[in-house]
Structure formats: C-alpha cells, structure tokens
Amino acid sequence: MKKHPAHEVFALLFSAAALALPAESADQPRPVDFVEWIQTDGPGGDRNLYIDTELAAENGLVMTAEMSWVSLPGADEGFAACFAGATGTNGKRIWPYILAPNDASTPYRHKFSYNNGALQLMGGGNYPTVGVRYRIESALIRKAQSFTVTAVAGATYSATRTNVSAEWCKTEQPLFLFALNNAGTPEQFSHVRLYSLTIATNYMATAGDATFEVARDFVPCVADNGRAGLYDRVSGRVFFPQAAVDGATAEFDLDAEVGAVTNRPAMAKWPLVRPEWVEADGMDDYVDLGVMARDGTRMLAEVEWNDIPAAGTFCGAATNATRGLFSTYRVTPDFHRMGYYNGSSTLGGANCAPVAGVRYRVETSLADGEQVITVAKSENGSWAPVGAGTRTVNLAFPAGSADLGLQLYLFARNMNGVPDEFAPARLYSFKLWQGDALVRDLAPAFEPADNAPALFDKVSKRYFRNAGGYRLTAGGATSAFPGAGTFWVIK
C-alpha cells in the first residue's frame, strides 16, 4: 500500500489496492438512488439519529467530510454538538469534529480533540454558521494532529489548527457520526446535512510518514428497502441510522431529510476489472456523452463493426437529415464518413469500404476551415491505412452552423433529441477533445455497484451506461483496470 505524508492525505487518491470488490449479497440492501445529502433530526428531534461507523476510535484516524449545519445547539444542549466522535471509559477522546463552547459570549467554535483536551480554530471568522457548506479535514495522528475547516459554499473561509500530542490514544469505542459516543451512550447530537465522508485509518501511525487505508467511503443513498442511509464503497454495505429516543423509528424522513437524486461523477469507485470491449446492438442501444456538438471537436476511437448498416453513426448529432450535420464518424456500406454542416465526406481510395469484424482506428477533426478523417485497420499486429488513409476538406462553417445545441450520442445519431442511425459496433477505446481540452476518455469497464457493462470516463470519473435498451454487452479478454481499487475523496 502506498505511503503518503499526513499533510498530503486530504489531496491524494487513497490507495486501496488490497481491497476486494464488495461482495454482492441478496441479504444486503443495495443503493438504488444516490442522493445529494442526508440530514439528521438533531438534539431537538423526536428520534436523535446517529450512525455507528463500526470503526475503532483511536490513533491514526483521518476523516474528510463535506457537511453543513442546519441549526446550532442551544443552551439545553450546553451549546455542544458532535459531528463525529467517541470518548472511552478511560477518558481518552477521538473527536474529529465537534462544536463546543469557548465562553458564554461566543459559544460556538469549530473544535477537535485528540486524547483529552479540545482545541479550537483560532482567528476571526471561525464561528460556525448555519447553511454554510464546510469541508472538514481532521487527522488525529500521534505527534501530528491537524484540523482544517474550509467553507466551500455560502462563505469564504479556511483555517487550520495543528497539535503535537505524543500520547497513544485508544478509546476502545466505535466512532459515531452525528453524535458523541460517550462510553457507549450517544449524546450531543448534531443537526447537520452530510454530503460525503471518507475515513482512513492506521493505529500505528506516528507523525507524518505513514500508510493510511481507506476504511469507510460514505455516499448518501436510498436503498432498495426504501430506507435512506450511507453507502460504503469499501465494504459494499449501506449503514442505516439508529435512534437514541426509546421507541422512535430509526429512519431518515425521505421527504424532508434526503436530498435530490444526483449522478455526481464521484458516485463511482474506480473500476476493478475491464473487458476488452463493449458493444451496442444496433437496434436501440446508445450512450449520451453529455458533450455538445460544436466547432473544434476531435475524436480518436478504436471500433469494430459487427454489421455494416445502410447508415450507422458511431458518434454524432444532427438537426435534420441534410443540414446541421455533425458526425465524428459514421458508415454506409461503401464508405467511412464524417459529417458536417450541410453534407459529409467519404474516405476515398481503393478497398475503402468498411468491413464487419475488422478493428479500425478512426481519427476525425471537425473544425471551421478544416475537416479531417483518418482510418486505419488492424493488420498483422500494426495499423494499416484504409483506402487513401486520410481525407481532408476545407469547408468554412457559417457562423454557428457547427454548434448545434445538441449533445453527441455514441452508437447512434442524436437527431434533435431522438436517437437514430444506430451502430451495431464494438468500442475498444474512445477519446474526445474540444479545442485543446480532453473532455471524454472512455474505457470499457464493469461498474462495481452492480457489475454492469459500462464506459468509464477517466476525465469526469463517471460511468456512462446504455440510455436505450437494457444493457450494453461486454466481451473479449478481461484485465485489471489501471488504477484498480483506487478511491478518491469526494470534493
């Protein structure tokens, strides 16, 4: 496992190469919707919800979270609320983040605690504010404790406090979220929204040079049993709340305490295994790339046609059949083609017709003043030109003619929002640039959540799945996905 200095922990991709793919089990609830946040009822609620992370609260605990306060604790709660923490019967403390009073005039302070004392952020502007979204970075490590609070929405603020306590700290208690685990009893409940939370651990860590293993990587979700909770991408489990109020229902209110369903890029864990290719059926399969067709788009793909249709678009969009064309690559029985503005150009030369079962490397560039298509085929372990190899056209685009206001589809053409010209094709790799920016870098993959064939975008860190039929099909040799088992902190 890779080593990282403690002060770099929050900016890195945690290496978890030793972790296996979370086991699928019919007995375990599975997430059906990932949501933007979950919200607790807080100390004034009728349930006092909290979550047991089932992680030992001890030295070497590193937490990163994005959250906001819905309300601050009042006098009845001693002006104290715990976002995450535990205290042992031995008096030892592991409190990654709490609010606690400093004096009567300024009761609310961002604080953390390692071992016994609690330390607050210093300087002006360090008072917690309702509705501000904070990123909390808390590293409770022997000889190197650090605590940073950064306002990421609703305010501009960042402050850090460090400490160098040299004692070993072990509470013998699990860490609770949304409450303090005081020797087994939840108290000091917090009224918060949680957007994301990651915890890495290493009890033997000292100072800055240590290895940290991701132990929890929580994403808010609604599971297939209808309950909201936190999906852990490490264990593959959903952690549900418990209620401290006797007889109360331990549930987040789906109407008031659960955010909107979201397809945030960071919902996905990096793939573990990749197939050699994924393919579309040529009937109703397609992928919406989420990228607008516009001037200056360039594509590089490796593709194989399972059949040559009368007209099949591998990637493209159009406003009508004869004008407003934008096809980075399409085929007809006789030609490899690119489409632009009011027509299309074909790759000329001898033996240039597309052939089913042949793997092609296709590069196209559609820019004002220059449109280029280059096609090569796999032959004896290398790439051989097809036909003339390259066709260049120098058409000047009328203003706005290439900016269609339509998103590019893969395995089909986006005809004003309706897919047509479906492509019965296999994709081995796909890259898309707009200007100098790489906007898509797709690789065949199995999405870990349900092992479904998909395309993983290494740019946006999200999975693209079939928007048409049931699922894409995967095949060919399988291999470890580069970077397999890597997790990243949700930012």
More confident residue, 363 or 33: 363
Cβ-contact 60, 203 below 8 angstroms = yes
Six-digit token string for 327 = 């096809």
Rounded to 5°, the CA angle 77-81-86 comes to 115
Residue 11 reports pLDDT greater than 60: no
Residue 262 has pLDDT above 60, yes or no: yes
Range with the largest mean pLDDT of 23-32, 144-153, 171-180, 287-296:
171-180
- At 264, the pLDDT band (50, 70, 90 cuts) reads very low
- The answer, yes or no, to whether residue 45 has pLDDT greater than 90, is no
Domains 4-260 and 273-480 equal at CATH topology level? yes
Please provide residue 412's backbone torsions phi and psi, each rounded to the nearest 5 degrees: -170, 170
Phi-psi region of 454 (alpha: psi -120 to 50; beta: other; left: phi over 0): beta
pLDDT in tens, 442-481: 999 988 767 889 998 888 778 899 988 788 999 998 887 7
The C-alpha atoms of residue 81 and residue 97 are separated, in whole angstroms, by 9
Position 206 scores a pLDDT of 87
Judged against a pLDDT cut of 70, whether residue 38 lies above it is answered with yes
If you average pLDDT over residues 175-180, what whole number do you get?
A: 97
Report the C-alpha gap between 107 and 103 in whole angstroms: 6
pLDDT at 486: 46
pLDDT score recorded for residue 469:
74
Choice between 328 and 46, residue whose per-residue pLDDT is larger: 46
Average pLDDT over residues 311-332: 82
pLDDT at 191 > cutoff 70:
yes
In DSSP terms, 186 is beta-bridged to 181
Banded pLDDT at 16 (limits 50, 70, 90): very low
Task: For domain 4-260, give the fold.
Answer: Jelly Rolls (2.60.120)
pLDDT at 127: 81
Distances (CA, A) of 462 to 224, 263, 386, 448: 22, 8, 34, 12
Pairs from 113-120 (Cβ < 8 Å, separation ≥ 24): 113/85, 114/140, 114/145, 114/163, 114/165, 114/169, 115/165, 115/167, 115/169, 116/91, 116/92, 118/93, 119/145, 119/147, 119/161, 119/163, 120/161
Question: What is the overall mean pLDDT for the chain?
Answer: 84
Q: In this prediction, what percent of the chain has a pLDDT beyond 70?
A: 85
- Phi, psi of 280, rounded to the nearest 5 degrees: -105, 155
Flag whether pLDDT at 277 surpasses 60: yes
Q: Is residue 23 predicted with pLDDT exceeding 50?
A: no
**Which option is the CATH number for 273-480: 2.60.120.200, 2.40.128.260, 3.40.605.10, 3.40.50.720?**
2.60.120.200
Return the pLDDT at 323: 58
User: What confidence score (pLDDT) does residue 345 get?
Assistant: 79
The pLDDT value given to residue 12? 36
Q: Give the best-scoring range by mean pLDDT among 14-18, 121-125, 311-315.
A: 311-315
**pLDDT tens, residue by residue, 48-83:** 999 999 999 999 999 999 999 999 988 777 788 999
More confident residue, 182 or 489: 182
Write down the pLDDT at residue 1. 29
Is a pLDDT exceeding 60 seen at residue 490? no
The pLDDT assigned to 24 comes to 41
**Gyration radius of the chain's alpha carbons:** 27
Domain coordinates in residue numbering, the chain:
4-260, 273-480
Q: Using one digit for the tens of pLDDT, what is the confidence trace for 326-377? A: 778 899 999 998 887 666 778 877 888 999 999 999 999 988 888 899 999 9
Residue 489 pLDDT grade (very low, low, confident, very high; cuts 50, 70, 90): very low
Exposed / middle / buried, residue 429 (Cβ in 10 Å: 0-12, 13-18, 19+): middle
In this structure, of 26-35, 125-134, 240-249, 430-439, the range with the lowest mean pLDDT score is 26-35
> In 226-332, at which residue ranges do the beta strands (DSSP E only) sit?
228-232, 238-239, 242-243, 273-274, 277-279, 287-292, 297-305, 312-318, 325-332
Q: Which two tokens stand for residue 432?
A: 């898309």
CA distances from 66 to 149, 172, 474 (A): 10, 26, 36
* pLDDT classification of 18: cutoffs 50, 70, 90: very low
CA nearest to 136, candidates 269, 10, 7: 10
Identity of the residue numbered 83: F
CA–CA distance, 77 with 468 (Å, rounded to integer): 53
pLDDT, greater one: 77 or 25: 77
Q: What are 230's strand-pairing partners?
A: 220, 239
Residue with tokens 């953390």: 112
